[in-house]
Amino acid sequence: MVPKKESLDREFYFGEKADFYAKSKWMERNQIKSTARALALLEDSRMGGELSKSSEHLLVLDLGCGTGFSSHIIESAGFHMIGLDNSFDMLEKHIEKSAPNKRNLVCGMIEALPFRKNTFNVMISISAFNFILDKKLQIDKKRVLNEVANLIYEILEPNGRVVIEFYPKKVDIPLYMETLKQYFEGGLIIDNPNQRKEQKFLILRQKRPDKKIAKSKIF
């Protein structure tokens, strides 16, 4: 049976559900709009304004790239893109829709990013990041977030930028902020607050030599 769009959760991205996702016009519109907003936030003045290099010189990691709605917008903006997702079924659909020279995809988890230090200039994640705390016990959430923040910090080049559009549980927001603040400057941007269309974006930048210094502008 085809799941309803309201039933989105981790299991939604495997088997025949991946096919349903890939064909969903509602999902496509949503992901394209969110990615366009993320790309605009990447160059927001609070992130330091315009990127110092032009997009064709920058490597972007699309965290939780799914069937490629977000990846294709990132690529059409001129960036080099590597997509990562933990569902091979979603990646198969991504491959079907991508040109042979644009299939830079990795099957892996955000919690165990398999990349070298200082690899990426930019990371973008659209509607995927909250899954790292999905079905986790409260006592494990802090450790998981800390490990992911540390991984992102390591594989991002100095002064690299990150934009994450996500759907955190309200109770988890302080934990996200508290943990990320130890590694990055930045903050949480809420579009259309308290409305049905509310969207949350984390904007993060600038690795610090001493992770313990916390003098951020937005957090």
Ligand X SMILES: C[S@@+](CC[C@H](N)C(=O)[O-])C[C@H]1O[C@@H](n2cnc3c(N)ncnc32)[C@H](O)[C@@H]1O
In this structure, is the dihedral angle defined by the CA atoms of residues 3, 169, 210 and 53, taken in order, positive or negative? positive
In this structure, is the dihedral angle defined by the CA atoms of residues 152, 110, 164 and 67, taken in order, positive or negative? positive
Q: Which H or E run contains 61?
A: strand 59-63
With respect to ligand X, which residue has the nearer C-beta, 66 or 185?
Answer: 66
How near is the Cβ of 8 to ligand X at its closest, in Å?
7
How near is the Cβ of 120 to ligand X at its closest, in Å?
15
Q: Which residue minimizes CB distance to ligand X?
A: 66
With respect to ligand X, which residue has the nearer C-beta, 70 or 199?
Answer: 70
How near is the Cβ of 170 to ligand X at its closest, in Å?
19
With respect to ligand X, which residue has the nearer C-beta, 85 or 185?
Answer: 85
How near is the Cβ of 52 to ligand X at its closest, in Å?
26
In this structure, is the dihedral angle defined by the CA atoms of residues 134, 180, 183 and 190, taken in order, positive or negative? positive
Residues in contact with ligand X by the rule CB under 6 A: 10, 13, 31, 64-67, 69-70, 85-87, 90, 109-111, 126-128, 131-132
With respect to ligand X, which residue has the nearer C-beta, 89 or 185?
Answer: 89
